[in-house]
Amino acid sequence: MGSAKRQLHLNAFLMNTGHHEASWRHPGTFPHLATDIRYYQKLAQIAERGKLDSLFLADGYALQGDVSHRVVTGLEPLTLLSALAAVTEHIGLIATVTTTYNEPFHVARMFASLDHISGGRAGWNIVTSSGDATAQNFSLERHTEHHSRYVRAREFVQVVTGLWDCWEDDALVIDKQAGVFADSAKVRPLRHRGASFSVKGPLNIPRSPQGHPVLVQAGSSEDGKAFAAEFAEAVFTAHQTLAAAQAFYADVKGRLAACGRSPEQLLILPGVSPVIGATEAEAKEKEAELHELTIPEYGLNRLSQLLQIDLFSYPLDGPLPELPDVRDINGNKSRFQLVAEMARRDNLTIRELILRTAGARGHLTFAGTAVQLADLIEHWFKEGAADGFNVMPPYFPGALEDFVDLVVPELQRRGLFRTQYEGRTLRDRFGLSRPSARASYEMKLAD
């Protein structure tokens, strides 16, 4: 695909009061609205006004972090997105659901339902969860080993997509006169028997508008990259430098051919958390004001969990202690590596590392003008580092409004981003084809 035909993709990553961990203390945020649907409806409508591709919601099945110092509560993503579908018309709706603590039939049915409700705007962010705290909410003492989680995830996705393909596109007849609702020959059982799952099927909901809701993945470990190359249609990732982003982009795109796929079938979307000002100095001042609201105890707790070492007994203005080997990390391996390398590369103290990661937990943070951010986005887009970005406003709603009102018009002026929504579905927005039910079903049978 030539560069002139490529279109930039932008998602809005929603998170209660914002991605900066001190956002709830910012005078322009509303922590008391963290479970108010009207608040999220407003955010969704701001993002849709900016013609963004989709809304993205993360999720977890445990109360993570210290409730004393941050808004750590949130609404269940599929429930929330169903409500947002009713007040939006175009923007995609991507929810995170784990394969580790769910069953494929439930997940297939929920996302098919969201796709019907939204008219073809659903996407599934596939994760394998992290942390023993999550396991202990599901009758387990320890979180399943990293590689084993991905083995289960692979079969899980095969079962979910197989269930989506049990109904052919034209299975519904709805002939009142003849008394025929559906053609039973076009509704097939799945009859899956594998290492982790035994699922007869078919799904008890007709094929959804997109056929398959868009498959998204957010892991950047070796297992995660292999999984993405086989299944994902968009990857959310974290990088601090252009060089690291380019290496990841080339690595993952380079794996697609072995899976019978082309580079255009997978979008790579790094996260960026921008603070926008009329001048660079103003943006830096706004960022510093957020950092001043940061509570060190919260950052220590967050980093201790990520790095799997208790940092409370070390001086804040001293260096990080020796960290575990990444092979011993049974959580988010890629984020562990990113943060550990950042600390080593820039010789950061613990306090400096807390502030460096307070804005977006290891994703790229930016403070500058709208033009400067557009320059960065364009450079990464044209230099083989990204197909777009997962935009992570540090505080809501103000930072999202700044991006939509100041940065999007600049990208549109450069011819990089849409001025009107194209097509009807999230697949249309992402430039992805609609899978054929029969072809996909027969291929799964052959496997």
Identify the band that residue 49 occupies on the pLDDT scale cut at 50, 70 and 90.
Answer: very high
pLDDT value at 32 more than 90 = yes
Residues in a beta bridge with 172: 182
Residue 447: the pLDDT is 59
Cβ pair 126, 99 in contact under 8 A:
yes
Residue 203: the pLDDT is 97
Residue 12: the pLDDT is 98
Cβ pair 128, 219 in contact under 8 A:
yes
Residue 344: the pLDDT is 82
DSSP string, 142-161: SPPPHHHHHHHHHHHHHHHH
Question: Among 183, 96, 207, which Cα is nearest to 436's?
Answer: 207
Residue 2: the pLDDT is 41
pLDDT value at 143 more than 80 = yes
pLDDT value at 80 more than 50 = yes
Cβ pair 113, 85 in contact under 8 A:
no
Cβ pair 221, 210 in contact under 8 A:
no
Eight-class DSSP state of 265 = G
User: How many Å apart are CA 63 and CA 67, to the nearest integer?
Assistant: 8
Sequence-ordered list of residues with C-beta below 8 angstroms from that of 6, at least 6 positions apart, any chain: 381, 387
Q: What percent of the chain has pLDDT over 70?
A: 95
Summarised one tens digit per residue, pLDDT across range 85-100 is 999 999 999 999 999 9
Q: How many CB atoms lie within 10 A of CB 394?
A: 31
Summarised one tens digit per residue, pLDDT across range 265-291 is 999 999 999 999 999 999 999 999 999
φ and ψ at residue 9, rounded to 5 degrees: -120, 135
| Furthest CA-CA distance within the chain | 79
Mean pLDDT, the chain, integer: 92
- The mean per-residue pLDDT over the stretch 144-168 comes to 94
Residues in a beta bridge with 221: none
Token reading at 433? 């084809």
Identify the band that residue 3 occupies on the pLDDT scale cut at 50, 70 and 90.
Answer: very low
| Poorest-pLDDT segment among 130-139, 379-388, 389-398, 435-444 | 435-444
Domains and CATH numbers, the chain: 3-276+364-446 (3.20.20.30)
Identify the band that residue 4 occupies on the pLDDT scale cut at 50, 70 and 90.
Answer: very low
Identify the band that residue 342 occupies on the pLDDT scale cut at 50, 70 and 90.
Answer: confident
Token reading at 122? 């659903």
- The mean per-residue pLDDT over the stretch 115-138 comes to 93
Peptide bond into 393 cis (omega under 30): no
More confident residue, 371 or 313: 371
pLDDT value at 186 more than 70 = yes
